[in-house]
Amino acid sequence: MSLLWPTRIGRLAPQFLGSAGLLVLWMGALATPAVAQTSEEPAVTIGMTNTLSFTKDTVRVEVGETVRWENSSVIVHTVTADSEEATMEESMRLPEGAAPFHSGNLAPDETFEYTFETPGRYRYFCVPHEAAMRATVIVEPAGKG
């Protein structure tokens, strides 16, 4: 079962178990936490740095694949493609029909995953560093590779 919605995963085990437990409740399923935790390996991992950048400027994935962002810095960052959060037109862009996403604040060492279901070009940014910190994910139709 793949996670079709954004997840914020702390490195700390209790936090992780907490979010997995919530997930189970939310689904109303009797599945064990192990099921909720099963997530596809991310197709690509992108770091977030002390110099206010995403480590990969542009990445390409296929529909259904997951991208993982890792806050490898000491600064709080976000991964955001949501017009509610943007203050500058150039900081984000979503393909037609794609849902917005926003990680919320990611403390140092926290990660965020998002599985892309709509092909196209996604431009995203970090909320507090919107003026400096932006990058792109290009999602191609499945089965191309």
Partner 1 sequence: MIRTSLPTRFLPFFSNASQRNEGRRLRTGLLVVAAAVLAVLLANTTQAQDKNMKKMLMQLQEMNQADGYLEAHRDVENPPELLGGPLSFAVEQNSGGVLVGLPDQRELDSDVFGTPEMPLAFTGTPGVTGVPVPFREVENGQFTQLDRPTPFGNKSTAMPSGSMMLKAQDVTATDAATTEDQVKFKASWEDKQGNTYAVRCCEMLSAAGPEFPTFGGVVTNHLLHGFSGVGTPLMPTEYTYAAFWGMGAVLKNGEVVDKPRVVHGMLTEYVRTEGYELASDSEVTPTRKHFHLMVAPFMPVKGEHKFEHNNVSTGFQLPNGKELPFWHVMFENLNIESQRGE
Q: Does 65 bind partner 1 (CB under 8 A)?
A: no
Among positions 65, 70, 113, 130, the unique one binding partner 1 when judged by CB under 8 A: 130
107 near partner 1, judged by CB under 8 A: yes
Comparing CA positions, the residue from 138, 111, 124 lying closest to residue 53 is 124
- In the chain, DSSP assigns E strands to 7-9, 44-48, 58-62, 66-71, 80-81, 101-102, 111-115, 120-125, 134-140
- Which of 84, 96 has the CB closer to partner 1? 84
Q: 38 by DSSP, 3-state: which?
A: coil
- The answer to whether residues 47 and 82 touch, using CB atoms and an 8 Å cutoff, is no
Q: Which region, judged by CB under 5 A, interacts with Cu ion, from 15-23, 30-38, 106-114, 131-139? A: 131-139
Does 137 engage in binding with Cu ion (CB under 5 A)? no
Among residues 12, 22, 88, 99, which is the contact residue for partner 1, using CB under 8 A?
A: 88
For Cu ion, the binding residues (CB under 5 A) are 77, 126, 129, 133
